Amino acid sequence: MDSTVFPAITEYDCKLPYYITGIGSGCMKVPYKKEGFPLFQWIQARSGEGIVHVDGKDFKMTENTGILIFPNESYELQINSNFWCIDWIVFGGYGVEEFFQRLDITETAVYKLVNYNTLYYKFERLLKMSKQMHPYKRLDISCSVYDFITSIVKNCTANNMNIKSSPKVEKVYEYIEEHYNDIIMLEDLSDIIGTSPQYFCKLFKEVTGYRVVEYINCLRIRKSKELMFHYNDMKITDIAASCGFEDSSYFCSVFRKLEGITPGEFRKKYFDK
């Protein structure tokens, strides 16, 4: 590898939610094999082709793809072209596993990098930071590891990944943002992407993790809290109507379900002087 860093891991590092045990980049010349390793690993291909064998499964990696390898899985990297230039990072911490679990990312998979330049930039920054020994840099590295793995989620797409990028759904987000205080019909949203209401509901749930009505209600409740902050004397019924709720009782029910308290209790807790 052209550049490799293995930071000394201290007791302090192990108390952090995210930390690095190894990071490097370069062009592979020979195959590499590793038995089950106890930490997460991310490998991204900048150029060339390779095959990653993981516990009996073969994953082909081409330019601008990445693979997230879960802990305790044996793997082998095999060059599949004249050259294969990759970046790699090994990371751990008590926050990593929960982070991926909450996003339903539960197994090793290859991802197409949507915005690969962002990941490359953040990787290079992490590589540079990992060479510094100053104790305060440990916290910076922990923050940067979190930033990096969130970028993996945001910039990658895969069939088994629940968080997907969809330009058509982006237009739906914009429409809901602009019309949250109006009556929003399911047909209005499905027409935006040119599909049936039934298929739209399925697609929206896959992309966002929310049912359509849940997403709209979450936005409306957020807007209602903003109104409470700016207009302390505004009546709850008026706030409900201004945020697209035709029935103030339904508004209060949704608010309590999401926030755990009523709108009046929320206002008193946070905004009453």
- How do residues 13-45 score in pLDDT, each as one tens digit? 899 999 999 999 999 888 888 888 899 999 999
Region 49-54: what's the mean pLDDT? 94
Please say whether the beta carbons of 168 and 109 come within 8 A.
no
Asked which of 106, 139, 157 is the last residue of a domain, the reply is: 157
Q: Are residues 122 and 184 in the same domain?
A: no
- Residue-number span of the structural domain to which 232 is assigned: 167-270
Total length of the chain: 273
42 or 135, higher pLDDT: 42
Question: Is 197 part of a structural domain of the chain?
Answer: yes
Region 87-97: what's the mean pLDDT? 95
Identify the CA nearest to 156 among candidates 36, 54, 259, 64: 64
Mean pLDDT (the chain) is 89
Q: Is the pLDDT of residue 265 over 80?
A: yes
Three-state secondary structure string covering 59-120: EEECCCEEEEECCCCCEEEEEEEEEEEEEEEEEECCCHHHHHHHCCCCCCEEEEECCHHHHH
Q: Are residues 80 and 101 in the same domain?
A: yes
Q: Are residues 42 and 145 in the same domain?
A: yes
Q: Give ∠ CA 18-6-107 in degrees, rounded to 5.
A: 50
Residue 116 — pLDDT band, cuts 50, 70, 90?
Answer: confident
Strands 19-28 and 32-34: unpaired
Q: Is the pLDDT of residue 270 over 70?
A: yes
**Model-level pTM greater than 0.75?**
no
Question: Is 48 part of a structural domain of the chain?
Answer: yes
In whole angstroms, what separates CA 170 from the centre of its chain?
A: 16
Identify the CA nearest to 73 among candidates 101, 50, 39: 39
Asked which of 136, 157, 178 is the last residue of a domain, the reply is: 157
Q: Are residues 67 and 148 in the same domain?
A: yes
> Domain count of the chain?
2
272 or 173, higher pLDDT: 173
Identify the CA nearest to 18 among candidates 71, 89, 92: 92
The CATH number assigned to the domain holding 235 equals 1.10.10.60
Pick the range with the lowest mean pLDDT from 31-35, 178-182, 221-225. 31-35
User: Looking at residue 113, what is its pLDDT?
Assistant: 86
Question: Is 162 part of a structural domain of the chain?
Answer: no
Region 169-191: what's the mean pLDDT? 94
- How do residues 207-219 score in pLDDT, each as one tens digit? 777 899 999 999 9
CA–CA separation, 26 and 46 (whole Å):
9
Burial label, 42 (beta-carbon count in 10 A; 0-12, 13-18, 19+): buried
Please say whether the beta carbons of 37 and 72 come within 8 A.
yes
Asked which of 157, 181, 214 is the last residue of a domain, the reply is: 157
Question: Is 128 part of a structural domain of the chain?
Answer: yes
User: Looking at residue 54, what is its pLDDT?
Assistant: 93
Q: Are residues 18 and 125 in the same domain?
A: yes
A 10 A CB-CB count for 224 gives 25
User: Looking at residue 166, what is its pLDDT?
Assistant: 61
Question: Is 149 part of a structural domain of the chain?
Answer: yes
The CATH number assigned to the domain holding 122 equals 2.60.120.280
